[in-house]
Amino acid sequence: MDKDPAVVLAQTAGFCPGVKKAIDQVLELAQAGKAPIYTLGPLIHNTQVIEMLKQKGIRAVDALDEIKGQAGVIVIRAHGITPSLEAEVRARGLEVIDSTCPLVKNVHSVIGKYAALGYATVIVGDKGHAEVVGLLGYAGERAFVVADSEEARRLPALDKVNIVAQTTQEEDAFLKTAETVKSRAREAVISNTICKPTRDRQRETQELAGKVDLMVIVGAKHSANTTRLTALCRRLCPRTIHIETEAEADPAAVRSARRIGITAGASTPGWMTDRVMGRIKELRKKEAVSPFHALERLIELLVDSCAYTGLSAVGLTYVCMKLQGVRVEDRLLILAGLFVFSLHLINRVAEKGVGAVESRKVELFEKHQRPLIGAAFISGLLALGLALFLGTKIFAVVFCCWILGALFPFRSLHGQAGRVDFPGSRDIVTALGWGMVCACLPALHQGIVFSKANYLAVVFAILLVFIRSVMLGISAVHSDMIVGRENFYKALGARTTYAILASIQSLLTAVLIVLLAMGWKSRLVGSLLAGNLAFAAGSSTCHFRGTPKGFWAEAAVDGQFLLLALLAWLGGRL
Ligand code: SF4
C-alpha cells in the first residue's frame, strides 16, 4: 500500500554481525542483573543507541580511571583493544566480557603472526580510530598507519612488511595503497583484512548508487565506516546525502528525485533506517489527502495507540465465549478490551526511549505522553471497576493480573532482572495474561471453569496470543530494537522459534480438524479453522519472503482476532 518502488533500501544496511553481537552481550548482562556495566569507549558510533543503552544502565567510559571501585562488569567493544590495555583491564578485578568482533581478532592474529616473523606492519586505516589503536598493539615496534597512497609514499624504505587493512576500509583504495607500500619494501605480504560484511555492503551500495539519482546514507557523522560509504557513493551518484536522523532528510531533494537509494553504516540501527525510509515515503506522497489516506492514518493511529490491540482482545474474548458456549456478555467484552489496551499502553509508554518501540510511536509518545499515560490508567481503573461490578472473584483475578502486567516493564530496576526474568518472558506473560482475561474470566463469571470447553478456549487463546506476540517480537528484532532475552525470538534464535511457531500452528489446526470431524460446534469450529489456516498461510509467506514491518504488519497480526470473531459471528448466523 505504501510501497514506493522508486525508494530502494539496501539489504546490507545497518548493524554488522560484530556490532549486533556486542549489543546483545551487554543487553544480556543488563538483563542478568549485572551492575554497573561499563564499556571501554562507546559500544558503537551511534548517539541514539548509546543513549538507549545508558537508560539500561550501560555506561561508556573513555579511560579505566573513570571506574571507581571493583564492582561491576567491563565490556571490551567490537573494535578490540591492545594486549597491554587488556592486561590492565583484567588486573582491575572487575568481571571482563570480551566483545571484540571475531573478524577483528583475526586481524590481530594476522598482525601477530607476521610481527613474530620479523615483518614490519603497515595498517591502512584511520589514525586514532579505536580499532586501529587496538591493531597497533599487536604489531610490535615497527608499525605504521597510512590513510592512502599519498601517505604511503612518505613511508621510510622497508625490508619485510605485512600490509593489513582496518576492517571497514574501502577495498579499491586499500589495494591501491597496499601497492604503493609494496613498492617501498624489499618483500611485502598484502593481507586484505577488510571484513566480509563491509565488502558486501560496499558492493551492494556501489550497485545501488549507480542506479539511482539520490543516495541517502544513514548513520552518525562521526562513524568512520558511514563517512566512507558516503564518499564511495558520491563518486557514483553526485546527489548523495549523509544524514543521522529522518529530520535531516531534505524535502526538496527527496521530492525531486526520480529514484532514491537508502543504505546505512555498520553502526546504524534498523529502526533508524526505517524511520528515514518512512519520512522519505511520506515526503513523496501526494499532497492531496485521499479518503484511503485518511483511513490509513486512522488505522495507524489506532495501532500505535494500542486501541487496535484492545479491539482485537474484544474479538478474541468473543471467540472464546462462543467456544465455551457461554452467553456473550458485553461487560466482559469491554473489560477484556480495556484491560489489554491499558496494559499494552503502559508497557509501550514505559519502553519509549529504550528502543523497544518503533520510531513513529516514539514521536506519538513524545508528543502526547501525558494524555496517553492518563488513558492507560483510566482504562485500567475502568477495567477494575467493571470487574468489581461483576463479582469479587473476577475483581481479584483482574486486579492481580493488572498489577503484574503494569509492573512488568519495571522488572529490571535495581538489578533485579535476573531473579524475575526468564527467556521469552514478554511473550509468555502476554499470552498468559490474555488467556486469563479473554478465556478464563467468561468461564469464571458463568461458573464453567475446569470444563473441557474452558480448557480448550484457554489453550486456544494462549497459543494464538503467544504466536501473535512472538511475531511482533521477530519484527522488533529485525528492526534492531534494543530488546533482550525477554523476547522469545532473541532468546531462542530463529530456528527454534520458527520450529515452535510451526508446531503450535499445526497443533491448533489438528485440534480444530478433529473437533470438526467429531461434529462438535461444526459451524464455529469450521469458521475458526478457515481463519486459522488463512493466518498460518499469511505468516508462512512472511517467513519466506521477509518479515514485514510497519503498522500494516502489526494491524494484520492483531487483526487475526477480529477476523476470527467475524468468522465466528458469521458461523453462528449461517
Ligand atoms: S565492521 Fe566487520 S570487523 Fe568490524 S565489527 Fe562489524 S563485522 Fe566485525
**Cα 20 to middle of ligand 1, angstroms:** 10
pLDDT at site 282: 83
Mean pLDDT, to the nearest integer, of 174-191?
96
Residue 343's contacts (CB-CB under 8 Å, 6 or more residues apart) are 376, 380, 402, 405, 406, 408, 433
**Cα 17 to middle of ligand 1, angstroms:** 7
Q: Which residues line ligand 1 (CB under 6 A)?
A: 16-19, 78, 101, 103-104, 167-168, 195, 197-198, 266
Q: From 66, 101, 136, give the residue that closes a domain.
A: 101
pLDDT digits (tens, 9 = 90+) for 327-356: 999 999 999 999 999 999 998 877 764 444
Atom number, ligand 1, closest to the C-alpha of residue 102: 8
pLDDT at site 416: 45
Determine contact, residues 340/313, Cβ cutoff 8 Å.
yes
Does the residue 2 lie in any domain? no
Residue nearest to atom 7 of ligand 1 (CA): 18
Does the residue 148 lie in any domain? yes
Residue nearest to atom 5 of ligand 1 (CA): 18
Atom number, ligand 1, closest to the C-alpha of residue 101: 8
Does the residue 131 lie in any domain? yes
Determine contact, residues 468/557, Cβ cutoff 8 Å.
yes
Asked if residue 254 has pLDDT above 60, the reply is yes
Give residue 484's pLDDT band: very low, low, confident or very high (50, 70, 90): confident
Asked if residue 539 has pLDDT above 60, the reply is yes
Pair (184, 221) in one structural domain = no
Pair (471, 369) in one structural domain = yes
Residue 222's contacts (CB-CB under 8 Å, 6 or more residues apart) are 45
Pair (95, 112) in one structural domain = no
> Which of 12, 15, 19, 44 has most ligand 1 atoms within 8 Å of CB, for mutation?
19
CB count in 10 Å sphere of residue 255: 11
Distance, C-alpha 180 to centroid of its chain: 43
Domain that holds residue 321: 304-506
Pair (353, 494) in one structural domain = yes
Burial 299-320 (b: 16+ CB within 10 A, else e): bbebbbbbbbbbbbbbbbbbbb
Pair (434, 498) in one structural domain = yes
- Give the C-alpha separation, 341 to 304, whole Å: 11
Residue nearest to atom 2 of ligand 1 (CA): 195
Residue 282 annotated to the active site: no
- Give the C-alpha separation, 461 to 381, whole Å: 24
Bridge partners, 163 (sequence order): 122, 190
Pair (468, 328) in one structural domain = yes
Q: How far apart are the first and last CA of the chain?
A: 33
pLDDT digits (tens, 9 = 90+) for 349-392: 777 644 444 556 666 777 777 888 899 999 999 999 999 999 99
Alpha-helical runs (H) found in 391-440: 392-407, 417-420, 425-434
Residue 364's contacts (CB-CB under 8 Å, 6 or more residues apart) are 301, 304, 305, 372
**E-assigned strand segments in 224-294:** 240-243, 260-264
Q: From 506, 535, 566, give the residue that closes a domain.
A: 506
Bridge partners, 74 (sequence order): 38, 96
Catalytic residue among 28, 66, 88, 131: 131
**Cα 335 to middle of ligand 1, angstroms:** 50
> Which of 46, 98, 103 has most ligand 1 atoms within 8 Å of CB, for mutation?
103
Mean pLDDT, to the nearest integer, of 53-76?
85
> Which of 24, 168, 228 has most ligand 1 atoms within 8 Å of CB, for mutation?
168
- Give the C-alpha separation, 444 to 401, whole Å: 15
pLDDT digits (tens, 9 = 90+) for 542-564: 666 666 666 777 888 898 999 99
Pair (354, 254) in one structural domain = no
Name which of 78, 109, 100, 102 is nearest 191 in CA terms: 109
Domain of residue 386, CATH code: 1.10.600
Pair (107, 186) in one structural domain = yes
Pair (473, 331) in one structural domain = yes
Atom number, ligand 1, closest to the C-alpha of residue 103: 3
Q: Are strands 58-61 and 37-40 parallel, antiparallel or unpaired?
A: parallel
Pair (72, 163) in one structural domain = no
Does the residue 291 lie in any domain? no
Pair (185, 254) in one structural domain = no
Determine contact, residues 117/124, Cβ cutoff 8 Å.
no
Domain of residue 151, CATH code: 3.40.1010.20
Total count of domains within the chain: 4
Asked if residue 55 has pLDDT above 80, the reply is no
Q: What's the mean pLDDT when you consider all of the chain?
A: 88
Atom number, ligand 1, closest to the C-alpha of residue 107: 3
- Give the C-alpha separation, 5 to 458, whole Å: 44
**Cα 144 to middle of ligand 1, angstroms:** 22
Give the cell for residue 531: 481463519
**Cα 167 to middle of ligand 1, angstroms:** 6
Does the residue 212 lie in any domain? yes
Does the residue 53 lie in any domain? yes
Atom number, ligand 1, closest to the C-alpha of residue 78: 5
Pair (255, 238) in one structural domain = yes
Does the residue 541 lie in any domain? no
pLDDT at site 419: 47
Domain of residue 24, CATH code: 3.40.50.11270
Mean pLDDT, to the nearest integer, of 126-151?
95
Q: If you count them, how many residues does the chain have? A: 574
Does the residue 569 lie in any domain? no
Give the cell for residue 292: 484511503
**Cα 19 to middle of ligand 1, angstroms:** 7
Give the cell for residue 500: 515452535
Q: From 486, 506, 526, give the residue that closes a domain.
A: 506
Q: Which of 162-166, 249-253, 256-260, 283-287 has the lowest mean pLDDT?
A: 283-287
